[in-house]
Chains A and B, each alone.
Chain A
Amino acid sequence: MHRSIAWLALLLAALVLAACGGGDDASDGGGAGAGSTDPAKVKGTVRAIMEEVPDTDVVKEMLPEFRKAYPGVDVKIEALPYDQMRDKIVSSFLASEPTYDLIVVDNPWMTDFAMGGFLEPLDERIAAVQGYEPEDFSKPLRDIADVDGKTYAVPFYNYALALVYRSDLYEKAGLQAPKTLDELKAAAAELTSGKRSGIAMQPQKGYKIFEEWGNYLLAAGGSIQDASGKVTLDSPEARTALQTYIDVYKASAPDNSLNWAFDEAIRSASSDRSAQLISYNWTLPTVNESGKPFAIAEVPGGRAVLGAWYWGVPKNSAAKDAAWSFAAWVTGKEREKARVIAGGAPVRDSALDDPEVWEQGLGEDYYKTVKAILQDAAPLADGPNAEEMINVVGNELNAAVAGQKSVDEAISTAAKNAQEVLDR
């Protein structure tokens, strides 16, 4: 008797499995099941976690529209400050019951999250969305989400760095946006006068100085890693870049600003106490609110450090189809255009090239510059343990600016420590 029940149970289980398999097959043909984004069929609640930033607010405002397109899907967004958000994402990965079904991924985390097996590979799902055109995403952005030949996330918004400068002050001094580090140094020195500094910097230990100095490094012709991932930081170019950074800081940055980060630099520029800064390209509308005319240009040297946020579906997500439906919807060509017009940072070439976006957004110059920046931008870091690598290098850079270490000592220690971190 007992044995026959066991057999029956096994048979049932087999049937259920077969049914699921059938669902999977059907999805390739565009039907229901895993990977489906059919608005009539996808159902569920998506608990999404995002960072407290202007781009998140833009997405929040698009939710009612999504609800109309997908009546069966309820997206709940929880926005938190950066560090708290990362801690919660990692806890959710490890929990037996996930807290989040859809997450945003910062590019230094990409390889670690993908290799840790926390993210759902999205290639098949991307291919199944009609008219999605993933190749429309700026190439450097696509490359970051590609880990060992698989795509683990889709771009949400970029934070490539740009030179954000006071166009009126530049004009008055008869200057052009600097094309080289020497020109930047000269322009910063010339624009330093009285209470206004020539440039606001962010030499804070760790991430912030790394992100800013990376642009100096690229301008000097150096690099952090080569194509194979080996650390190439111990170079004369890196030393030149750091020496120039220190010279600019000493000559033209606000006094005693060694612990400054992004916020202080923005505030300084907004309150007419600095003539320019190297910062995220989307800070332009923020600094322009001050009433002073700011413009953006490519960073000196023309190659910027690229940072970007992505949408990722955790492997333990309780609503994968619904989560992906939202990610695919919000990153689709049409939504991208609306999102950029509403103030979101662009990730698709089509939005950057769209005259309607130019007109209703921040103007043709802005989007053309952003497109030029994105085209050849180099990712902040690539590979496993990227976050730690950024921190150990940023530590040495800050020590050199503080005068605790010589440029030479800081660069060679940074290179050695970075290689150790990557080899771990």
Chain B
Amino acid sequence: MLRRFPIRYRFLAPLVVLLALVVAYPLGYSVWLSLTDRTITRPETSFVGLEQYGSLLTNGGYGTAMRNTLVFVVFAVGIELALGLALALALQRQRWARDATRAFLLTPMFVTPIAVGLMFRFLLNGQLGPIPAALGSVGLSVDFFGTALALPTIVAIDVWQWTPFMVLLLLAGLESLPRQPFEAAKVDGASAWLTFTRVTLPLLRPVIAIAILLRALDAFKVFEYVFATTRGGPGDATDTLQYLIYRTGFQFFRLGEAAAMGFVLVGLVLLLVTILYRTLLRQEARA
């Protein structure tokens, strides 16, 4: 019976079985869940087809969480990219204490995100935190977790923690660039700005694309900062998709609906990844 399968498939079999077990089965099960009204606290479960996907369209809370998440991703990743690029360019020219500076700059990445969230919750506490106290001494009162600033505050926490990641990737990219184009630009008398926009950026494009991709995928999963600081408040100003999915599935026990919410997000992320690949990587190939 085994002879029917060529040897290459037989060698592949263990991996296929493993993938089926750890990836395909849970994924398939959660697709199935999203098509049922499975609720942990109820014994009976019925098949509802795409009903739960449809109801997300009219679910105001889901729309708000989606908007907040997109705003968070765009601003957090955008700021991290700009800051990261600036820092990477500066670090590339650094002459002394390079390793120490780099190691020091990377430290925020090593802290677990929930701890970072809790840390900022108390650092920014209006009455007891050192940051508002410092601002208070120059007569400033900032409501970091008020309606207007709560989402920007969470973006800032993400920027604090993950800019080093951008620096790491971009710096590695910068240092691996060929020297000849830069020497040619110098010989031609190009200004620093011209060299940066016409030589550095185009050469660095694939690295930037990958950096944006990795950070954006991670930023879509924002949960810890929201959970630790605002729980989605004030009102629903900082409610994000992951926190909403967590509440629906684990706190309110509605696994089916939470799965549907999750798959819409998966679809959206896949779409964004495809667009990113086309615009950033394909142009590279053409150029």
Q: Is the CB of A391 within 8 A of B247?
A: yes
Neighbouring B residues of A257 by C-beta, 8 Å: 126-127
Give the docked Cα–Cα distance between A116 and B41 (Å).
Answer: 4
Q: Is the CB of A255 within 8 A of B126?
A: yes
Q: Is the CB of A258 within 8 A of B128?
A: no
| Interface residue stretch chosen among B161-169, B177-185, B224-232 | B224-232
- Which B-chain residue is minimally distant from A108 (CB atoms)? B251
Among the listed B42, B127, B143, B250, which residue makes an inter-chain contact with A86, where contact means beta carbons less than 8 Å apart?
B250
Give the docked Cα–Cα distance between A87 and B250 (Å).
Answer: 6
Q: Is the CB of A258 within 8 A of B143?
A: yes
Decide yes or no whether B145 CB sits under 8 A from chain A: yes
Decide yes or no whether B43 CB sits under 8 A from chain A: yes
Decide yes or no whether A402 CB sits under 8 A from chain B: yes
- Which B-chain residue is minimally distant from A87 (CB atoms)? B250
Chain B 135-173: CB-based contact to A (< 8 A → 1; otherwise 0)? 000000111111100100000000000000000000000
Task: Give residues of chain A (104-124) contacting chain B, Cβ–Cβ below 8 Å.
Answer: 112-113, 115-118
- Which B-chain residue is minimally distant from A390 (CB atoms)? B251
Give the docked Cα–Cα distance between A8 and B229 (Å).
Answer: 65
Of A118, A399, A401, the most chain B CB neighbours within 10 A belong to: A399
Decide yes or no whether A404 CB sits under 8 A from chain B: yes
Question: Are A264 and B250 CB-contacts (below 8 A) given A205-B232, A402-B147, A402-B233?
Answer: no
Question: Are A404 and B127 CB-contacts (below 8 A) given A87-B250, A90-B250, A206-B231?
Answer: no
Decide yes or no whether A244 CB sits under 8 A from chain B: no
Task: Give residues of chain B (214-245) contacting chain A, Cβ–Cβ below 8 Å.
Answer: 229-237
Decide yes or no whether B275 CB sits under 8 A from chain A: no
Q: Is the CB of A398 within 8 A of B147?
A: no
Among the listed B142, B235, B251, which residue makes an inter-chain contact with A388, where contact means beta carbons less than 8 Å apart?
B251
The size bracket of the interface on B is: 20 to 34
Neighbouring A residues of B141 by C-beta, 8 Å: 255-256
Among the listed A118, A205, A256, A273, which residue makes an inter-chain contact with B230, where contact means beta carbons less than 8 Å apart?
A205
CB distance from B139 to the nearest CB of A (A): 13
Q: Is the CB of A90 within 8 A of B233?
A: no
Among the listed B41, B43, B142, B229, which residue makes an inter-chain contact with A113, where contact means beta carbons less than 8 Å apart?
B41
Neighbouring B residues of A273 by C-beta, 8 Å: 127-128
- Which A-chain residue is minimally distant from B248 (CB atoms)? A388
Decide yes or no whether A62 CB sits under 8 A from chain B: no
- Which B-chain residue is minimally distant from A405 (CB atoms)? B235
Decide yes or no whether A18 CB sits under 8 A from chain B: no
Give the docked Cα–Cα distance between A267 and B145 (Å).
Answer: 18
Q: Is the CB of B128 within 8 A of A264?
A: yes
Q: Is the CB of A387 within 8 A of B251?
A: yes
Q: Is the CB of B143 within 8 A of A268?
A: no
Q: Is the CB of B233 within 8 A of A259?
A: yes
Decide yes or no whether A385 CB sits under 8 A from chain B: yes
- Which A-chain residue is minimally distant from B228 (CB atoms)? A259
Q: Is the CB of A391 within 8 A of B251?
A: yes
Neighbouring B residues of A281 by C-beta, 8 Å: none
Neighbouring A residues of B235 by C-beta, 8 Å: 205, 395, 398-399, 402, 404-405
- Which B-chain residue is minimally distant from A256 (CB atoms)? B126
Neighbouring B residues of A197 by C-beta, 8 Å: 127
Give the docked Cα–Cα distance between A93 and B250 (Å).
Answer: 13
Of B126, B144, B145, B237, the most chain A CB neighbours within 10 A belong to: B126
Q: Is the CB of A271 within 8 A of B128?
A: yes
Decide yes or no whether B125 CB sits under 8 A from chain A: yes
Q: Is the CB of A94 within 8 A of B147?
A: no
Give the docked Cα–Cα distance between A391 and B252 (Å).
Answer: 9
In addition to A256-B126, A256-B141, 10 A-B residue pairs with Cβ atoms within 8 Å of each other are A86-B251, A90-B253, A258-B146, A259-B145, A259-B230, A259-B234, A264-B127, A267-B128, A268-B127, A273-B127
Which 5 pairs of residues, A with B, have the shortest CB-CB distance?
Answer: A205-B233, A256-B126, A399-B235, A402-B234, A116-B41
Q: Supply 15 A–B pairs (Cβ within 8 Å), ascending by A.
A: A116-B41, A204-B230, A204-B231, A205-B231, A206-B231, A256-B132, A259-B150, A259-B233, A260-B125, A268-B128, A387-B252, A395-B232, A398-B234, A402-B235, A403-B147
